[in-house]
């Protein structure tokens, strides 16, 4: 995959397999101790972080919108410095790009405005914020982030960390800021339909 220019991201850190709530509609709660997380949920993430790629690691990790009550009883993992910076970056040693899951999901929007969620995600240590629904939501995110930087709530140093990680990814995968032509959907659908199902 990486050889073809696709940037893989492992998800949904730190594990979404032991929840009964769909984070698209509500906030899943996981009440596992750090030791229990280590013995179960963190196993695939630790393996991915130790695999080949940027600095010997997978290049990107997506953080889930789940509440880990024993790590941070207040904020979802995606908005939690204890999870993103503490667990993922410091304890597991991940140095690549961290993405949020879609900030327009119910797990976030039921408790936070989109702008505040974006600011909290950056403060937590996330580099790339996903806003997947409602293009009209993007200006609110942009405004909230600009205001947080202007007030000093988000520091220039914190932004530089994210910019560095994003530029490192763009360099490694030879990405540019040149416009991308829309794909030929009919040709892609024909190609997909031509693959025999086994």
Distances (CA, A) of 68 to 62, 123, 169: 16, 18, 29
Q: Which of 24, 31, 55, 133 is catalytic?
A: 24
Active site (annotated) includes residue 101 = yes
Neighbouring C-beta atoms of residue 2, cutoff 10 Å: 14
User: Distance between CA atoms of 102 and 68, rounded to whole angstroms?
Assistant: 18
Q: Which of 12, 65, 72, 101 is catalytic?
A: 101
Residues in a beta bridge with 67: 29
User: Distance between CA atoms of 133 and 7, rounded to whole angstroms?
Assistant: 22
User: Distance between CA atoms of 118 and 116, rounded to whole angstroms?
Assistant: 5
User: Distance between CA atoms of 147 and 194, rounded to whole angstroms?
Assistant: 50
Tokens 């949020």 — which residue? 100
User: Distance between CA atoms of 23 and 39, rounded to whole angstroms?
Assistant: 23
User: Distance between CA atoms of 10 and 13, rounded to whole angstroms?
Assistant: 8
User: Distance between CA atoms of 124 and 42, rounded to whole angstroms?
Assistant: 19
Catalytic residues: 24, 101
């Amino acid at each position: 995959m990486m050889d073809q220019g696709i940037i893989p991201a492992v998800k949904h850190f730190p594990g979404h397999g032991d929840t009964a709530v769909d984070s698209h509609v509500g906030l899943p709660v996981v009440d596992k101790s750090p030791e229990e997380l280590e013995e179960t949920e963190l196993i695939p993430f630790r393996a991915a972080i130790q695999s080949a790629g940027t600095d010997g690691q997978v290049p990107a990790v997506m953080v889930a919108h789940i509440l880990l009550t024993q790590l941070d009883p207040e904020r979802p993992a995606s908005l939690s410095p204890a999870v993103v910076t503490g667990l993922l970056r410091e304890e597991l040693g991940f140095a690549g790009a961290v993405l949020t899951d879609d900030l327009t999901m119910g797990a976030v929007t039921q408790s936070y405005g989109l702008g505040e969620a974006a600011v909290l995600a950056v403060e937590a240590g996330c580099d790339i914020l996903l806003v997947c629904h409602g293009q009209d939501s993007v200006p609110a995110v942009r405004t909230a982030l600009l205001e947080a930087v202007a007030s000093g709530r988000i520091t220039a140093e914190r932004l530089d960390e994210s910019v560095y990680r994003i530029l490192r990814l763009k360099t490694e995968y030879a990405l540019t800021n040149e416009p991308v032509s829309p794909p030929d959907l009919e040709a892609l659908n024909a190609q997909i339909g031509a693959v025999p199902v086994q």
